[in-house]
Structure 1
Amino acid sequence: MLSLTFFLYFGQLGVLVPYLGVFLDGRGFNSQEIGELFALVTLMRIIGPNLFASFADKSGKSLGILQIGAFLTFATFCSIFWLNSFWGLTIAFGLMMLFFTAIAPQTEVITLGSVRGDATKYSHVRLWGSIGFIVLTVLAGKLIDVFSSEAPIYISGAVLLGLFLVTLSLKEATASEHKSSAADSIWRKVRTKVFIGFILSSTLIQISFGPYYSFFALYARDLNYSGQETGALIALGVAAEVIIFLLAGRLIGRFGVKWTLFVSMLLTGLRWYLLAVAAQFWPTLIVSQLLHAFSFGLIHAASINFIHHYFGVQFRSQGQALYTSIGFGIGGAAGNFGAGLIWQQGQGAELAFTLATGFALLGALLVACIPSRYMPK
């Protein structure tokens, strides 16, 4: 059931991340408004993960937090069917994202507890999230062509209901996974140069994703790709991600977290540069999407491995929450907001992806500066 939870969770992301811009464009929003809405919604990823992780670590009830989050995500999402204004949709999507952030960190904690931190076993469970992303992305792209830009919200509603129902069959992690020591403090871990370097690099990578997450589907449409073709391109990237998840445990074990992150971030920079200068050529888009294996898949697997070993049993939920809220929350919000300002209905696409290249390379540089002896092997 953990595999199915990942399938539905990331399947939901496979609907909204690529196509929320298309949905909002269909509702009459311009690129700046789309970027602002993305940014405001993403800010919920700063508040939510830490709030829910604190409850989970103190109560030892990760599963309960997960189930409540899944139910409230579905309940708040339903309001989107009756809203159309900028602030109405922003508040609705924001509340949905706030509760949605309760799901992934607790699922990660329960999964890592069940596989006892084994990177290979974790990757084999987590890859089902990538499969869900592929299936729902292709389906949503096809339904947009057949019906309209409203299709993503109908698919999302069904997926979120299914996700809540699946969480009801999960089992709680063992109590030992949640034990904490009053003598210890998570801030002792957070204040180190190692964690600061790691979290800053993670934030820079998420900033670099801003143009891709906010506008790739619209970018592909401007390049005369259909919704189905766009879905296939996105699915190709996630298919490459599935393959890398199968290999992630061995790659991290062979090269270590530091160099896995470093090389993956360099390749992420290459990916954005290709989109900036040669996106009009379909082979470029294919290569760019294949690099998603590194820019998301391997970076994510290595980052989760770092969090699991660096924070240990005591603060694993809060460590995961910090990674999500700072990297994906602050970084994602900044990237989405900046992309919205620069995009200018597609006229600023080259500049947006060029800047994304710089942020990815700067993230790689920060990782290179972290002494290897402080990183998990």
Structure 2
Amino acid sequence: MLPYWRLSGFYFCYFALLGGVAPFLSLYFHHLGFSAARIGELVAIPMLMRCVAPNLWGWLGDRSGQRLLIVRLGALFTAITFSAILWRQDYLWLALVMALHSFFWHAILPQFETITLSHLGARSARYSQIRLWGSVGFIVAVVGLGLLLDRRGLDTYPAAMLGIMLGIFVCSLLVPPVPVAVRGDTAASAGFVQQLRRPGVMVFFLCAALMQLSHGPYYTFLTLHLEALGYGRGLIGAMWALGVIAEILLFLIMGRLLRRFDLRQLLIGSFVLAALRWLLLGWGAGELWLLIPAQLMHAATFGCFHVAAVHFVQRHFSERLQGQGQAMYATLSGCGGALGALYAGYSWAALGAGWTFTLAGIAAGVAAVLLGRRLPG
């Protein structure tokens, strides 16, 4: 029997944490008095750890078969290491906290994606129906934290984040183990390299990195960008939530989209809309009638892309190498995200919001061309 609600509950809490990070982490660092360049560096550190941690944990998960134990320990140590932020807030200490907690945080999702797909088995099309609860958690966190920070101030931010992390750990304890019949074996990793060499696989991973690179200005500076344009924090939170609502609606129909379009078409379409979205945010966000459709495109740039990417990895890597395949996706996405945060931090001060988002649009456009030319139909 599919443990739908226990899997969904975990996604709810995990992405509630992302809902606390994406709109508010840079705002918290700004509140502490850091410059745009320092904010970009601090936000990039967790993404840099995503370049290292998932592959290590993915290899360990495939070798040991103890994916759920890795998820539980990762969740626990994420909370423990993040709690150090309550003691000091100088730059070097915060950099250390960002590195340590993200090393364990990035152990979690690739392993849990594999656990979910193993529970689903032949019903993998239902993945989006489970994953949508992560988007609900994101919205709840964005709206709830927005209200909390408006009333209590940004000094309450670290404690609120720690509470969400503990919620992830509790939810991980409720998830049942994968049935023995569908667990991976401990085969050598040579087959992983062979599967990487299949046509289009490395191009896909490169484009996944470019997608996350293009999101760098969005996740690092959107809140500050909208504040500078005169929007209140309540409306800013609503704009973040609008994007995720669009994503949820996409998840509800994703099964039909997967039946109607192939993965190549879905991936290319996501990148084309991403390029358009970043141009709208860079040059037209001051107009609400342009900001709203830009946020609705989150359904494509995150929702459609992510589901298509997870299915791509599932189809191109064997069962025993799913953990490493999902980890490679997370790793290269992390590398792209780190580079995106870093370039955004430096570009924001030097070039301004418009050209920073334009560079993001160019990255997405290049990826669309690469997929169109190199990914098999």
* Pair 1:216-2:225 in alignment: no
Amino acid of the structure 2 residue aligned with 1:33: R
> What is the CA–CA distance in structure 2 between the aligned matches of 1:40 and 1:77, rounded to whole Å?
14
SS of structure 1 residue aligned to 2:52: helix
SS of structure 1 residue aligned to 2:99: helix
> What is the CA–CA distance in structure 1 between the aligned matches of 2:209 and 2:16, rounded to whole Å?
23
> What is the CA–CA distance in structure 2 between the aligned matches of 1:183 and 1:170, rounded to whole Å?
27
> What is the CA–CA distance in structure 2 between the aligned matches of 1:318 and 1:183, rounded to whole Å?
9
Amino acid of the structure 1 residue aligned with 2:337: G
1:153/1:193 Cα in 2 relative to 1: closer, same or farther (>3 Å)? same
Q: 2:358 aligns to what?
A: 354
* Pair 1:206-2:212 in alignment: yes
Q: 2:346 aligns to what?
A: 341
Q: Say which of 38, 51, 68 aligns to 1:46.
A: 51
SS of structure 2 residue aligned to 1:150: helix
Q: 1:133 aligns to what?
A: 138
Amino acid of the structure 2 residue aligned with 1:278: G
Q: 1:226 aligns to what?
A: 232
> What is the CA–CA distance in structure 2 between the aligned matches of 1:172 and 1:103, rounded to whole Å?
15
**How do 1:75-114 and structure 2 match up within 5 A?**
75-114=80-119
- Following TM superposition, by how much is the alpha carbon of 1:142 offset from its aligned partner in structure 2, in angstroms? 1.5
Structure 1, 330-339 or 245-254: larger mean CA deviation:
245-254
Q: 2:367 aligns to what?
A: 363
- Following TM superposition, by how much is the alpha carbon of 1:235 offset from its aligned partner in structure 2, in angstroms? 0.5
Amino acid of the structure 1 residue aligned with 2:346: L
- Following TM superposition, by how much is the alpha carbon of 1:371 offset from its aligned partner in structure 2, in angstroms? 4.3
User: Per-residue CA shift, 1:312-342, capped at 9, x if unaligned?
Assistant: 2020000000000112x11001000000001
* Pair 1:55-2:52 in alignment: no
1:371/1:98 Cα in 2 relative to 1: closer, same or farther (>3 Å)? closer
**How do 1:9-48 and structure 2 match up within 5 A?**
9-48=14-53
Q: 2:323 aligns to what?
A: 317
Structure 1, 248-257 or 287-296: larger mean CA deviation:
248-257
Q: Say which of 241, 246, 253 aligns to 1:235.
A: 241
Amino acid of the structure 2 residue aligned with 1:244: L
RMSD (Å), alpha carbons: 1.4
> What is the CA–CA distance in structure 1 between the aligned matches of 2:243 and 2:155, rounded to whole Å?
24
Q: 1:259 aligns to what?
A: 265
- Following TM superposition, by how much is the alpha carbon of 1:151 offset from its aligned partner in structure 2, in angstroms? 3.2
Given that 2:62 and 2:323 are in contact with CA atoms closer than 8 Å, whether structure 1 keeps it comes out as: yes
Structure 1, 19-28 or 150-159: larger mean CA deviation:
150-159
1:117/1:289 Cα in 2 relative to 1: closer, same or farther (>3 Å)? farther
SS of structure 1 residue aligned to 2:178: coil
Amino acid of the structure 2 residue aligned with 1:357: G
Q: TM-score, normalised on structure 2?
A: 0.95
> What is the CA–CA distance in structure 1 between the aligned matches of 2:187 and 2:85, rounded to whole Å?
43
- Following TM superposition, by how much is the alpha carbon of 1:40 offset from its aligned partner in structure 2, in angstroms? 2.2
User: Per-residue CA shift, 1:225-261, capped at 9, x if unaligned?
Assistant: 2222111100000000001011112212211100000
- Following TM superposition, by how much is the alpha carbon of 1:372 offset from its aligned partner in structure 2, in angstroms? 3.1
1:370/1:290 Cα in 2 relative to 1: closer, same or farther (>3 Å)? same
Amino acid of the structure 1 residue aligned with 2:128: S
Given that 1:178 and 1:313 are in contact with CA atoms closer than 8 Å, whether structure 2 keeps it comes out as: yes
Q: 1:170 aligns to what?
A: 175
- Following TM superposition, by how much is the alpha carbon of 1:130 offset from its aligned partner in structure 2, in angstroms? 0.3
Amino acid of the structure 2 residue aligned with 1:331: G
1:362/1:142 Cα in 2 relative to 1: closer, same or farther (>3 Å)? same
> What is the CA–CA distance in structure 1 between the aligned matches of 2:39 and 2:147, rounded to whole Å?
22
Q: 1:190 aligns to what?
A: 196
- Following TM superposition, by how much is the alpha carbon of 1:184 offset from its aligned partner in structure 2, in angstroms? 5.1
Gaps of 5+ in 2: 1-5
Gaps of 5+ in 1: none
Q: 1:115 aligns to what?
A: 120
- Following TM superposition, by how much is the alpha carbon of 1:181 offset from its aligned partner in structure 2, in angstroms? 3.5
1:349/1:188 Cα in 2 relative to 1: closer, same or farther (>3 Å)? same
Amino acid of the structure 2 residue aligned with 1:155: A
Q: TM-score, normalised on structure 1?
A: 0.95
- Following TM superposition, by how much is the alpha carbon of 1:183 offset from its aligned partner in structure 2, in angstroms? 8.5
Amino acid of the structure 1 residue aligned with 2:352: G
